[in-house]
A = this chain, B = another copy of it.
Amino acid sequence: MVNSRFSVAIHILSLIATTSDKSQLTSDYIAGSVNTNPVVVRRMIGKLKKAGLLTSQSGIAGYGLVIEPKDLSLLSIYRAIDGPEQLFAIHDEPNPACAVGRQIQHTLETVYLDVWHAMEKQLQAQTLQDVLDQLR
């Protein structure tokens, strides 16, 4: 299976965006909504914080969004987490003595980059606010 970190990140950010009583937002509470372990949540929040998407303070309950939902693209979120660094893996060390083997890696990189760009564009077009709207 592919990892679910992107989904968890969006879930966490949605919770923060929609919870008015910030002191309620502990890693434990969030873990209860996501249905995972508080440490998994704190780990993810660490990445989101490092990426400048949210604020937190050691020892104090509550997280805050740095960027308004309507200005926070899903692409920004995707980039903040450790998503798979590539869409498709390329087998390594194909035979350089073979015409196909010699060129296939570079060719596939080009092909996959085009695919990634299409995906990137779609992720850029959707914001956290769009997700919040769909949650109603």
Contacts and interface: CB of A to CB of B under 8 A. Distances in A.
Main SS of chain A's interface residues?
A: helix
Contacts of A34: 91, 94-95, 101
A7 B108 CA distance: 7
Interface stretch (A45-53, A59-67, A121-129): A121-129
The interface centre, meaning the residue of A15, A93, A104 with most chain B CB atoms within 10 A of its CB, is: A104
B119 A115 contact: yes
Contacts of A8: 91
A4 interface: yes
Q: How large is the interface on A (under 10, 10 to 19, 20 to 34, 35 or more residues)?
A: 35 or more
A131 interface: yes
B135 A89 contact: no
A99 B11 contact: no
Contact of A89 (B7, B18, B33, B88): B7
A91 B6 CA distance: 9
Interface of A: 1-4, 6-8, 10-11, 14-15, 18, 32-36, 74, 83-84, 86-95, 98-101, 103-104, 107-108, 110-111, 114-115, 117-119, 121-123, 126, 130-131, 134-136
